[in-house]
Amino acid sequence: MSPLEKTETPVANPEAELPPVNPTTLRASLGVRIVTLIVIFVPLLGVIAAPFAVWGWGFGWTDLGLLIGMYVLTALGITVGFHRLFVHRSFETFGWIKFIWAILGSMAIQGSLQQWVGMHRRHHQHSDTPHDPHSPLHRGQGIMGLLRGFWHAHMGWFFEANPPGMDRYVKDLNASVAPRVASTLFPVWVVLSFLVPAILGGVITLSWIGTLTGLIWGGLVRLFLVHHVTWSVNSACHLWGFRPFKSDDMSRNNVLFGILAMGEGWHNTHHAFPNSARHGLRWWELDVSYWVIRALAFFGLAWNLKLPSKEAQARERRMA
């Protein structure tokens, strides 16, 4: 493992001039907005329907296992795979492992690998400025401005068109076979995201009811939880929490989402050291994603883990 100084997220041509963007006027096409509504609200409807579907019979140990198992796998697909591996290149691994992480991240249904990486690299390059695609700031003053900003950062930004020039952020992915193929096959991974828990539920219980409840709990409910926990890093972790390190934005460490989001909630630490494989640098800051990366390294499946040195941490720590 090598010490890591404070560095910027790697992007192609970072000094290139961006065309002016007014984020308040960008609007996606009708088709994109309809699909986005379906992806967001169908899982919500699943949560609402779940108590009626499972009342008295439809929830058991199998359903609980599928809910937790699918949540952990797809959430780690985002945190370890999409975020720390592909966006920030916090560690290196074999091509076939990259492909697995790309599948698991895609099964969280937050966009294809290339879309997710491109948008997140832009976020880091322009964090909490008007060019940031999902900053909760710049949405007006007072309580209404705060609410509009929270909505935009949490999920409203999905309804806006992608900023121009996004391809420049993912040239490295386009040049690599495994990420490029995995991103192209995104619709397949979306189907598997629901098919896997449904099939497992049916096989384990040997019943069609098990198939239905597996789909509900391991599919819809799990997706709802993964979505809103992940999106809360964009919204809540730029509004509420503490800031132990210097950064040029309003990113904050949030204990709740540090736990629920597998270590991603230590967001100020991440923005101070964006390429670090570890976000929870203190002993009490739980970082499940880093534990997984360390486990991969222990078995020789990951290497070149990037970590901030003690000197770098001291230099970037904010004075009380």
What pLDDT sits at residue 320? Answer: 53
Distance CA 302, CA 293 (A): 7
103 versus 17: the higher-pLDDT residue is 103
pLDDT digits (tens, 9 = 90+) for 123-135: 999 999 988 998 8
What pLDDT sits at residue 206? Answer: 96
pTM: 0.86
pLDDT digits (tens, 9 = 90+) for 41-89: 677 677 777 777 776 677 889 999 999 999 999 999 999 999 999 999 9
Helical pair 61-76 and 186-205, crossing angle rounded to 10 deg:
160
**pLDDT reading at 151 higher than 60:** yes
> pLDDT tier at 147 (50, 70, 90 boundaries)?
confident
| CA neighbours closer than 13 Å in the CB half-sphere of residue 250 | 17
% of the chain exceeding 90 in pLDDT? 64
Distance CA 253, CA 280 (A): 9
Q: What is the mean pLDDT of residues 15-34?
A: 48
Helix (H) or strand (E) holding 303: strand 302-303
Query: So where are the chain's domains?
Result: 29-114+174-316
The token pair at 158 is 């999905």
Q: Is 190 exposed, middle or buried (0-12, 13-18, 19+ CB in 10 A)?
A: middle
**pLDDT reading at 100 higher than 80:** yes
Which of 22-36, 165-179, 248-262 has the least mean pLDDT? Answer: 22-36
- What sign for the dihedral angle of Cα 263, 264, 265, 270? positive
